[in-house]
Amino acid sequence: MTSSKILLYLLLSFIGGIFVSSFFDVPELIIYELFGLGTFYSILFFKQKTILVFGICLIILASGILRTESAKLPESGSLGISYQTGETKISAVQEKFSDFKQKLREVIYRNLSPPQSSILAAIILGDKTRIPREWKEKLNIAGVRHITAISGMHIVILSGILIWLGIALGLYRGQAFWFSLILLWLFILLVGFQPSAIRAGIMGSLFLFCQKIGRQRAALNTLVLAAAIMLLFNPLLLRESVGFQLSFLAVFGIIYLMPFFKNLLDKTKILKTLNLSGLLGMTFSAQIFALPILIYNFGYISIVTPITNILIVPLLPYIMGMGLFFVLLGAIAQPIGWILSLPIWLFVAYLTGIVDFFSKISWASQTLKISWLWLVPIYLGLGYFVWRLTQKEKLKFLSY
């Protein structure tokens, strides 16, 4: 058993303890029994590595349960660190940059009319609350609401766009990594260091790191480590934060499913020629693993999602790049902002046109409500599919 596997088992044990305690009330007696059994196996079978690791995993599992139970108590801190205090510090940073963000916001609403203005503001500034209710519903029906939300899926997709853009600009992969990482955190700074954006930014950074090292096993360990650290400070995220769930699942899906979708989309010559198979593959990979959680929380499924994403996602690098260029220069000189508003309006108008058209199709979206119990077999099935893909890749590698 390698050290990386041991680390993964320990981290998963801690997260497993948090998961169990998040959905079930665990009696204190069971927690103490887990600690006792773990200690017993660790001491008695100290020289047998497998049993020793099992014993330590029981102790870590109990620690995860205990950590979550303590977080459920009123006015409990998070290892001496108040999550609310963290929110206050983040709000102070957000307030510090609010004047600059307000100037950028004014550039958008001065030069563009609704709904293009509110959608562009959501994409590049995180102002999704200003999107009219009617258009929020249209985006949901069309299955592209993720492009306007500063969440895990949005940041992960943005990460892929940035590294793709860096390579397209002629940078080496190592240079593109740093280019993308810097721009990603500048973007999070721009939207105001929202807690959900920070969590998603951590996951997005890990995705870039995974791309850089090109190692699946190390990527999984790094992803699980980040999740465990965030849950250590606030274990209630696992159940209460949809953004945290989407962030983790989106990155996991991209790590393991993106090669599959990229190879599949490469069979379409136009996508391969335009170098879009990787971008679309990343989008579909993120959505496949996030979809069950989205259905569970929001109670619907968009049938037209594959079509709308193919038509819209390839434009996101241009919309975000030109949009940021537009607001930054527009804040410096108003005439420049007016000149640049025309091309960005054309792109966003195309986006809203696609959304408007597909949202009016009667069968575009269907109501689908599922119990959380269904999530278990669904994700077990996805896990099995990923395992089969991994085994297939191993066989290919051994055949060479």
In a domain, 353, yes or no: yes
User: Which whole number is the average pLDDT over 382-388?
Assistant: 87
Among 34-43, 157-166, 389-398, the range scoring the smallest mean pLDDT is: 389-398
In a domain, 274, yes or no: yes
Q: What is the DSSP letter of 78?
A: B
Amino acid at 76: S
Q: Are residues 34 and 139 in the same domain?
A: no
User: Which whole number is the average pLDDT over 327-344?
Assistant: 89
Confidence of residue 296 (pLDDT cuts 50, 70, 90): confident
Confidence of residue 82 (pLDDT cuts 50, 70, 90): very low
**Which of 52, 76, 100 is the last residue in one of the domains?**
76
**Which of 45, 76, 107 is the last residue in one of the domains?**
76
Q: Are residues 15 and 127 in the same domain?
A: no
In a domain, 397, yes or no: no
Sorted by sequence, the CB contacts under 8 Å of residue 132 that are 6+ apart come out as 114, 115, 118
Q: Are residues 269 and 203 in the same domain?
A: yes
- How does DSSP assign 354-376, residue by residue? HHHHHHTSTTSEEE----HHHHH
Q: Give yes or no for a contact between 178 and 169, defined as CB atoms under 8 angstroms apart.
A: no
pLDDT, position 4: 79
Say how many domains are in the chain. Answer: 2
Question: Residue 236 phi/psi, 5° resolution?
Answer: -70, -10
Residues 171 and 164: their CA atoms lie apart, in Å, by 10
80 or 144, higher pLDDT: 144
Name the average pLDDT for the chain: 81
Residue 371 pLDDT greater than 50, yes or no: yes
* pLDDT more than 90, % of the chain: 18
Q: How many CA atoms does the CB half-sphere of 30 hold within 13 Å?
A: 12
pLDDT, position 97: 64
Q: Are residues 69 and 98 in the same domain?
A: no
Q: Are residues 70 and 99 in the same domain?
A: no
pLDDT tens track for 170-190: 888 778 888 888 888 887 877
pLDDT, position 86: 47
Percentage helix, strand, coil, to 5, in the chain?
80, 0, 15
pLDDT, position 173: 75
Q: Are residues 173 and 321 in the same domain?
A: yes
pTM of the model: 0.75
Three-state DSSP at 181 gives helix
pLDDT, position 79: 40
217-221, 256-260, 382-386: which is most confident: 382-386
Structure tokens at 274: 């335009």
In a domain, 110, yes or no: yes
Size of the chain in residues: 400
Q: Are residues 59 and 180 in the same domain?
A: no
pLDDT, position 153: 59
Residue 268 pLDDT greater than 50, yes or no: yes
Q: Are residues 105 and 209 in the same domain?
A: yes
Confidence of residue 54 (pLDDT cuts 50, 70, 90): very high
Q: Are residues 278 and 216 in the same domain?
A: yes
> Residue 396, exposed/middle/buried by CB under 10 A (0-12, 13-18, 19+)?
exposed
* pLDDT more than 70, % of the chain: 86
Sorted by sequence, the CB contacts under 8 Å of residue 89 that are 6+ apart come out as none
Q: Give yes or no for a contact between 255 and 299, defined as CB atoms under 8 angstroms apart.
A: no
Structure tokens at 252: 């996991």
Q: Give yes or no for a contact between 358 and 364, defined as CB atoms under 8 angstroms apart.
A: yes
In a domain, 383, yes or no: no
pLDDT, position 35: 92
Residue 115 pLDDT greater than 70, yes or no: yes
Q: Are residues 185 and 61 in the same domain?
A: no
Q: Give yes or no for a contact between 200 and 154, defined as CB atoms under 8 angstroms apart.
A: yes
pLDDT, position 244: 81
In a domain, 40, yes or no: yes
Q: Are residues 47 and 160 in the same domain?
A: no
In a domain, 396, yes or no: no
User: Which whole number is the average pLDDT over 25-53?
Assistant: 89
Q: Which domain holds residue 146?
A: 87-369
**Which of 36, 54, 76 is the last residue in one of the domains?**
76
Q: Are residues 142 and 256 in the same domain?
A: yes
In a domain, 236, yes or no: yes
**CA distances from residue 235 to 17, 69, 113, 244 in whole angstroms, order as listed:** 10, 9, 42, 11
